[in-house]
Amino acid sequence: MADNESRYRGLEKADTVVSGILHLVFSALFVVAITYAIYEGYLADDDEFVQLAVYIIFFLAILTWNHTALWFIGLGLRKQQTMHTIASGIWLHVFSVIFAALVVLAYSENYLIQDDAYLQAVINLILTLAILTWAATVIWLVQRGKPDLIRLAHPAVRYVVAGTIAVSCISFVILLLLLAQAYGSYLQGEYSWGYSVVIGIAALFLFGGAWHIARLARPRFMRRRERPFTRRGPRVLYVALCISVLAGAGSLFVSIASQSAAPVVPYQFTLEAGTSNTSVILLIGDGMGPAHMDLGRVVEYGPGTNASYDRFPHETTVSTDNIEGGTTDSGAGGTAISTGRRTQNGRIATSPDGQNLTTILEIAKQNGYATGLITICQLAHATPAVFAAHQSNREMYAEIVADMVSHDVDLLLGGGWSSSYFGPHVASMQAAGYAYATNKTGLAAIASTPALGLFASGNLPKFQDYTDASAEPSLLDMVVKGIELLNATGKPFFLMVEESAIDWAGHANDPVYAAHEMIMLDKIINHTINLAEAPGAKLQVLLTADHETGGLQILGTGGLTSPLPNESLPLAENIARRTNRTNEIQVSWSTGGHTSTEVVLAGIGPYTSQIHHANYNIDVFSLMRMAIEGKSGPVEPIGFIFQPVWFVYIAIGGIACTAVAFATLYVRDSKKQRPSI
């Protein structure tokens, strides 16, 4: 007996020393990281949310350091248990307060409600963990003062806890599989290490589950001396994490199941007589939601007036959700528009199973059309890329550029002469007959297609930064010249024009930036509608967006006093007036990312009278295809695709089996312990 007691004392001392060393090392690394962050200026951020997160990390570093100091002071005074309890209580209490403050800030900034079901699941997980951590801290402190106040001695508790852990492990695996299916395309190339991180997190979580279940099922497994309530913190926190996983995964499962009940089917538009050889101009405002359009209208024309887009005779709104039902990016959103098929975020005109999807530009070329892509971003960016490339990841720029070059697009105007983009291909394209321009003067001098214009190493300047002396052509300059060159071919043509910077303005939550870019798009809309209304024109013009960015809302325009812009004024004066007017408008943003807000689909010309039947962004493709070859729907049929809802069914089955198994074990053990009569 004495030997056992001595062995237990030795193990406890070793456990204390090892734990203390780990705490010291961890704290030292934490403080070193904080010191480095201060030196690099990372502790000061303009974003209020980021700043609070930085402060939380800073406080945790200090508290962890203090915890370690108290640990060793207590060890030296032979009051280790008391000091450990005090330090742990303080640490957990302050941690919970900070976590709650973070939740309050997130709520005030509208971060807690998201359109993306996957992001909402992660938020629900974190929110639940915050609440449970707070509750656990309160219970911890109450239990220290009144140990008998909360007693969970009922035999069923052990099975409930074990069952909760097992069910959460199943849900966690399914949650990771769903996230991998939805966003796995981002973890390629230089980010492939992300898979190792995910696998490591999953392995650690599952190991923790197996350990706690083993200890609950067999208390003598890896037995240690009886510990007071204050030493059961790891299990309490792990169970809290398990419940949080269930909350997050559960919300995602419900969302996926509800979405699967209403499958997305493209509308079958009807053939219209006399529409063969119709030219198509597709205008895409990247990140443009209805509020962005209203902002541009109010700034340029005033409240209660009409902008150029109001000239479209037919208009509706369409959903932009990706194939998982989540918030799209420009890869998936653009692919839906260019191919008529929904896909996963990050993909460029490819299906979730890697199949190349035929684009509207490819259909136009097959039907003898001239083709063109115009943008103010670098040309290998997601939106232009989805019309003339096929890749699994939007970041694969070298491969995307090679695809676009091989497509022999007649007109390519935008940015991207850097060696990372089109730079290595310029010489070969010139040798193949492409006229090449790098500035506004060079563009004006091009007389025929094929034509390549690269006016920046990457993206072109903001519209608000242009002057009369700017060497770069504006987007309007490129559109006017591009249409002139395509018309000169004598063929019908397909042209995609992207106003890229509306998206960047939304990410930056910058209303001035957004207003200027919307006004540029407004001028292009006006020009193309004029062409469509010309006598004898056979031109379809469509306006839409791949998604909305920023969650923009206009709160009030009552403070508008600055004068309206006027085309008779110098460019610099109009830019200043637009900036002043925008600053007088009250706006709000709900996020710095994309949202699932429905976007406008408007049009003029053949088939646009049927726009009101469109419900999804995939219907944009069908409208264009009808104008080009009189067919509706995607080229590739929607075949077998592993649907996310099947993962939900697997999770439900696993959870049901687990519940039955633990209920059976409890009944069996209860019978064993029941006294015989």
Note if 562 is an active site residue.
no
> Residue 1 pLDDT more than 60?
no
Q: Dump strand ranges (E) for 293-450.
A: 314-318, 370-378, 411-415, 435-437
Collect all residues with Cβ–Cβ distance below 8 Å to 164 and sequence separation of at least 6: 239, 242, 243, 246
**Residue 235: per-residue pLDDT:** 72
Q: Which residue has the tokens 């538009």?
A: 269
Q: Is the peptide bond before 450 cis (omega within 30 degrees of 0)?
A: yes
Distance between CA atoms of residues 159 and 181, nearest Å: 33
Do 579 and 554 form a contact (C-beta atoms < 8 A)? no
Quick one: which of 458, 415, 452, 445 has its CA closest to 430? 452
Confidence of residue 543 (pLDDT cuts 50, 70, 90): very high
Do 8 and 226 form a contact (C-beta atoms < 8 A)? no
Q: What number of helices (H) and strands (E) belong to the chain?
A: 20, 13
Do 428 and 348 form a contact (C-beta atoms < 8 A)? no
Confidence of residue 230 (pLDDT cuts 50, 70, 90): very low
Residue 319 per-residue DSSP state:
B
Please give the order of strands across the beta sheet that includes 493-499: 314-318, 599-604, 539-544, 279-285, 493-499, 370-378, 411-415, 451-454, 435-437
> Residue 412 pLDDT more than 70?
yes
Spell out a b/e string for 513-536, using b for 16 or more CB atoms within 10 Å of the CB, else e. Answer: bbbbbbbbbbbbbebbbebbeeee
Q: Which residue has the tokens 């493209």?
A: 266
| Phi and psi, residue 221, nearest 5° | -65, 120
Least reliable range by pLDDT among 101-110, 117-126, 380-389, 514-523: 101-110
Comparing 380 with 5, the larger pLDDT belongs to 380
**Residue 293: per-residue pLDDT:** 96
**Residue 537: per-residue pLDDT:** 92
> Residue 593 pLDDT more than 50?
yes
Strands 493-499 and 370-378: parallel
Q: What pTM, to 2 d.p., does this model score? A: 0.75
Q: Please write the tens of the pLDDT for every residue from 243-287.
A: 888 888 888 888 777 766 566 888 999 999 989 899 999 999 999
Q: Which two tokens stand for residue 257?
A: 């199941």
CA 330 to chain centre: 10
> Residue 588 pLDDT more than 80?
yes
> Residue 640 pLDDT more than 60?
no
Least reliable range by pLDDT among 1-10, 323-332, 619-628: 1-10
Q: What is the mean pLDDT of residues 445-460?
A: 95
DSSP states of 35-83:
HHHHHHTTT--SSHHHHHHHHHHHHHHHHHHHHHHHHHHHHHTT-HHHH
Name the 3-class secondary structure at 395.
coil
> Residue 558 pLDDT more than 90?
no
Comparing 239 with 438, the larger pLDDT belongs to 438
Distance between CA atoms of residues 230 and 246, nearest Å: 25
**Residue 150: per-residue pLDDT:** 59
Confidence of residue 12 (pLDDT cuts 50, 70, 90): low
Least reliable range by pLDDT among 27-36, 181-190, 220-229, 437-446: 220-229
**Residue 77: per-residue pLDDT:** 47
Q: What is the mean pLDDT of residues 486-493?
A: 96
Distance between CA atoms of residues 616 and 534, nearest Å: 30
> Residue 228 pLDDT more than 50?
no
Which one of the listed residues 96, 185, 319, 330 is annotated catalytic? Answer: 330
Q: Please write the tens of the pLDDT for every residue from 287-301.
A: 999 999 999 999 999
> 279-629: which CATH topology?
Alkaline Phosphatase, subunit A (3.40.720)
Residue 614 per-residue DSSP state:
-
Distance between CA atoms of residues 275 and 348, nearest Å: 30
Distance between CA atoms of residues 317 and 328, nearest Å: 16
Distance between CA atoms of residues 54 and 48, nearest Å: 10
**Residue 253: per-residue pLDDT:** 85
**Across-strand partners of 350?**
356
**Across-strand partners of 616?**
319
Name the 3-class secondary structure at 373.
strand
Angle formed by the axes of helices 571-583 and 511-532, to 10°?
120
> Residue 112 pLDDT more than 90?
no
Q: What secondary structure, in 3-state letters, does 226-274 show? A: CCCHHHCHHHHHHHHHHHHHHHHHHHHHHHHHHHHCCCCCCCCCCCCCC
Quick one: which of 142, 218, 110 has its CA closest to 665? 218
Q: Please write the tens of the pLDDT for every residue from 60-108.
A: 666 655 555 555 555 554 455 555 556 666 666 566 666 666 666 666 6
Q: Which two tokens stand for residue 175?
A: 């949650």
**Residue 229: per-residue pLDDT:** 40
Comparing 55 with 458, the larger pLDDT belongs to 458
Q: What percent of the chain has pLDDT over 70?
A: 74
Residue 115 per-residue DSSP state:
S
**Residue 332: per-residue pLDDT:** 94
Collect all residues with Cβ–Cβ distance below 8 Å to 677 and sequence separation of at least 6: none
Q: What is the mean pLDDT of residues 112-140?
A: 75
**Residue 148: per-residue pLDDT:** 62
Comparing 602 with 190, the larger pLDDT belongs to 602
> Residue 676 pLDDT more than 80?
no
In whole angstroms, how far apart are CA 623 and each of 275, 496, 602, 606?
12, 14, 11, 9
**Residue 108: per-residue pLDDT:** 63
CB atoms under 10 Å from CB of 234, counted, come to 11
Boundaries of every domain in the chain: 2-261+653-673, 279-629
**Residue 130: per-residue pLDDT:** 73
Q: Please write the tens of the pLDDT for every residue from 649-658.
A: 888 888 888 8
> Residue 579 pLDDT more than 70?
yes
**Residue 255: per-residue pLDDT:** 79
Distance between CA atoms of residues 497 and 288, nearest Å: 14
Q: What percent of the chain has pLDDT over 90?
A: 49
Q: Which residue has the tokens 């990457």?
A: 458
Comparing 206 with 431, the larger pLDDT belongs to 431
Confidence of residue 41 (pLDDT cuts 50, 70, 90): low
